[in-house]
Amino acid sequence: MPRPISARIHLDAIRHNLDFVKRTAAASRVWAVIKANAYGHGIERIFTALAAADGIALLDLDEAVRVRELGWTGPLLLLEGIFDARDVETAARYRLTVTVHCDEQLDLLEAAKPPQPIDIQLKMNSGMNRLGFRPGDYVRAWRRASGIASIGEIGLMTHFANADDGSIDWQIDNFDAATKDLPGTRSLSNSASVLWHPRAHRDWVRPGTILYGASPTGSARHIEGIPLRAAMTLESQLIGVQTLQAGETIGYGRTFSADRTMRIGVVACGYADGYPRHAPAGTPVMVDGVRTRIVGRVSMDMLTVDLTPCPHAGIGAPVELWGERVRVDEVAEPSGTIGYELMCALARRVPVVASSRLDAAQIA
């Protein structure tokens, strides 16, 4: 029997979350963001759940080619754009829309002679100071792009620095002031601004983490009451049970000491599976359908849990590390990270099962 750990990918949850985005930003078209191998869920596994998206956005050419070969015929956006002349050839061959954020990328497009023009999203640095043309230089970049024969439609886009925890009006104002006389569709909203900043919805929105049911802020509290469903469940079983007496410790570093007689469960999951090593004692976990907590230090292949709330749980009892009942953000936040880092970090050694009412279960 294989080690009793697996991840389940819920295609119905992704469909549900995409539908929620479309209803929330009803006047906008949706770029479904599937970078980082669909946030660790697997592009091939989730592809059928994206049928209702208007476009797909991702990071690199390999991912884009994979999506085209799966049969996607709609718009396909490279979020960081192109890096050399060969990328221009691939973008033309696979009918990609490319983000353009610097003059060097315009140079590549200007030097190319693709068989048909390539659509672009011209990116503005409206205040995040990462990629893009500054507002004062944006019109010049747009005019240059509009004069390049190898460029087709020009969309206008930007990215927000703190849509998850603050006001973005200053960035919207910067964007609007610089683009007020320019034609083209607008794309501003990431996941957080889809949820909380309707002023930013515009022609296209670009949801990423909320498609997979995680919080844009990294805190599960911030999406309480928002009907997002977890798209990934990491589950395992108890493979051992120990009884500690008061004063006894458990695990590496002896970081947890029992203050009474306690039953401790050992779970077949550790940091080599993608669970955060620095998750502190008290991080929630479901054992045999009951919410409890991890105790002690997370090891490479195992972690330990308090069985006090579930006295009848024994070897073989099911364990949910994160998923439908323990949100991934509830594990990430006390670990000092965000839910989508954990989803992206799921280890290759963990078997993955994708399932849906509409799709036969498949093991990858």
Q: What is the 3-state secondary structure (H, E, C) of the chain?
A: CCCCCEEEEEHHHHHHHHHHHHHHCCCCEEEEECHHHHHCCCHHHHHHHHCCCCEEEECCHHHHHHHHHCCCCCCEEECCCCCCHHHHHHHHHCCCEEEECCHHHHHHHHHCCCCCCEEEEEEECCCCCCCCECHHHHHHHHHHHHCCCCEEEEEEEECCCCCCCCCCHHHHHHHHHHHCCCCCCEEEECHHHHHHCHHHCCCEECCCHHHHCCCCCCCHHHHCCCCCCCCEEEEEEEEEEEEECCCCEECHHHCEECCCCEEEEEECCCHHHCCCCCCCCCCEEEECCEEEEEECCCCCCCEEEECCCCCCCCCCCEEEEECCCCCHHHHHHHHCCCHHHHHHCCCCCCCEEEECCCCCCEEC
d(C-alpha 64, C-alpha 76), whole Å = 7
Active-site residue (options: 35, 113, 212, 340): 35
Rounded to 5°, angle at Cα 233 from 348 and 304: 80
Judge whether 252 counts as a catalytic residue: yes
Active-site residue (options: 113, 138, 252, 275): 252
Q: Which sequence positions are flagged as catalytic? A: 35, 252
